[in-house]
């Protein structure tokens, strides 16, 4: 009897390991960008990152600890998704689409984070779909209350192009969603409850 119980336990552990491997693959990698004037990489014309489907792009806004002395007003800015021809200069154009606005520089729990999931199909009506083999261009503009900021920009390349007969296109996006914390909470809950459903088979 104990042999059958041990065999069932080993089988469950194997299933759990395979399941965790699939989950880790589905979650993807997180690419972190601190979007403020101290990040000099954002001021380079050739600064770019390569992402894959199911990866996340995490943008952290400028942040100042509450009560910290500052010699100038805090940085506040808006981030835009722009066309390639508008990428060379940080100017607001007709084709630019505002993605996020960093307007809480003294947030009590640290810098505000905006997360963009790199996915081909979005389940949300206002979500954005990233296509493999294409480039997407982000730039920022200082808001009215912010001091003058340098031109900060980022090119995002989605790997990998699956259809080689079509030329690459750069398209603007509708308004983006924020952090995917709710999805992660649901996933954690599922992982915790899975062993309970497997107990009758032990």
pLDDT by residue (tens digit) across 63-77?
Answer: 998 877 777 889 999
pLDDT by residue (tens digit) across 27-47?
Answer: 689 999 999 999 999 999 889
Q: What is the pLDDT of residue 79?
A: 93
Q: Where are the domains of the chain?
A: 29-181
Establish whether the linkage from the previous residue to 160 is cis, with ω within 30° of 0: yes
Q: Are strands 30-34 and 56-60 parallel, antiparallel or unpaired?
A: parallel
Q: What is the pLDDT of residue 177?
A: 37
Chain centre to alpha carbon of residue 52? 11
Quote the CA–CA distance of 186 and 195 in Å, as a whole number. 15
* 105 against 199, higher pLDDT: 105
Q: For domain 29-181, is the CATH number 2.60.40.420?
A: yes
Report if pTM > 0.85. Answer: no
């Amino acid at each position: 009897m104990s042999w059958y119980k041990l065999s069932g336990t080993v089988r469950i552990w194997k299933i759990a390991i395979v399941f965790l491997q699939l989950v880790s693959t589905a979650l993807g990698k997180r690419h972190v960008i601190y979007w403020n004037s101290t990040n000099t990489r954002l001021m380079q014309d050739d600064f770019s990152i390569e992402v894959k489907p199911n990866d996340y792009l995490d943008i952290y806004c400028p942040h100042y600890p509450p009560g910290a002395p500052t010699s100038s007003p805090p940085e506040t800015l808006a981030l835009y998704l722009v066309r390639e021809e508008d990428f060379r200069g940080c100017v607001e154009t007709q084709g630019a689409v505002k993605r996020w606005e960093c307007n809480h520089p003294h947030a009590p729990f640290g810098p505000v984070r905006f997360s963009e999931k790199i996915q081909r199909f979005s389940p949300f009506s206002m979500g954005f779909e990233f296509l493999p083999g294409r480039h997407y261009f982000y730039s920022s503009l200082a808001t009215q209350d912010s001091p003058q900021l340098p031109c900060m920009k980022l090119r995002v390349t989605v790997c990998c192009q699956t259809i080689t007969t079509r030329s690459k296109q750069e398209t603007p996006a509708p308004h983006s969603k924020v952090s995917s914390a709710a999805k992660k909470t649901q996933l954690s809950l599922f992982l915790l409850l899975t062993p309970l459903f497997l107990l009758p088979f032990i």
